[in-house]
Structure 1
Amino acid sequence: MKKDHLTIDSLKFDFARIDELVRMWRESFEFGVGVADPHPIAEQSQYLITKLIPNNMVRIAMLDGKLVGFIAATRDSISQLYVRKGNHRCGVGTQLLDWAKAQSSGSLWLYTFARNAVARAFYEKHGFRIVARGFEPTWQLADLRYEWKAQRAAV
């Protein structure tokens, strides 16, 4: 993949694009976690529009006009980071994560499911460390809290 064709941009309120984003999000989630998402597409779209977008900075990754990833983050946390199945290990997630780190207050936290080996390896490769283990009751799955702290430059 040539990275010069990859662009990170703010989400535009285009309902066709939002539907595409939700479908990609679900496919990526189901691939990584190995569990089918039981929520209706319309419900997840509504969650994106009414909860995720108002409470996070949301960016999408486009590759040659195709939506290949998205991130929802605050200055302190990452709520969602998904890359389209088939676009893993191509730099999409890294660029989205680098964007979040640049917007951060110098540290970030996030949760991922313990069974999502791809996500765990990705976050650990990018300097995140497990700080807590828990259980997510809605999904009935073990989860992990990761944290990242920016390295201070030597003075």
Structure 2
Amino acid sequence: MADFQICRYESSYAEEAVVMWRASKEEAIGQKEIHSFDSHIHFLNHILPQDYEIYLALENGRVVGITVFNAEELNQLYVAIDQQGKGIGAALLKLAKEHSGGSLFLYTFETNKNAQRFYEKHGFVEVGRGYENEENLPDIKYEWRRDFEVQGAE
């Protein structure tokens, strides 16, 4: 288990967060990020905060994870490649669930088998496929409902 803390995103972490995010995403989908680094910084600092909450996982001051969500949608969740499997993603996901209205949906790339296993392990179920995205890759829509977990625990 990694020794990390979760905190609200601050723009002073923008460059480090985007470097980690891009590396993790590129590893997950097997292709380079289509947006420039500067446009990714702008997206993180100016576009996402309009509709989403943003949190970071930090280990010894280093950005090792990011999550972006609102009450209905988990928009982004990435963990540093060398920190995966240490509970960081689970902690970030738990935070998003706690801030949700009792359900969340998300999209993940069909090629990202690790993400599919992760979300399914954490109670998400597939509800659709084939949605369009900027990367032109097939994706899967997942949904989680708090009442699914309650029923499953009985």
Give the Cα separation in 2 of the matches to 1:37 and 1:61: 22
Give the deviation of 1:136 after TM superposition: 2.4
User: What residue is the counterpart of 1:13 in the other structure?
Assistant: 11
Q: Name the SS for the 1:152 alignment partner.
A: helix
Matched, 1:93 2:93: no
- Counterpart among 116, 120, 131 of residue 116 in structure 2: 120
CA RMSD of aligned residues (A): 1.6
The one-letter amino acid of 1:9's match is C
Give the deviation of 1:55 after TM superposition: 1.4
% identical equivalent positions: 36
User: What residue is the counterpart of 1:72 in the other structure?
Assistant: 68
Aligned length: 151
Give the deviation of 1:51 after TM superposition: 0.9
User: What residue is the counterpart of 2:51 in the other structure?
Assistant: 55
Give me the TM-score of the superposition, normalised by structure 1.
Answer: 0.92
Give the deviation of 1:43 after TM superposition: 0.7
Q: Which has the higher helix share?
A: 2
User: What residue is the counterpart of 2:41 in the other structure?
Assistant: 45
User: What residue is the counterpart of 1:25 in the other structure?
Assistant: 21
Listed as ranges, the gaps of 5+ residues in structure 1 are none
Runs (4 or more) in structure 1 with deviation over 4 Å come to none
Give the Cα separation in 1 of the matches to 2:45 and 2:139: 25
Give the deviation of 1:54 after TM superposition: 2.2
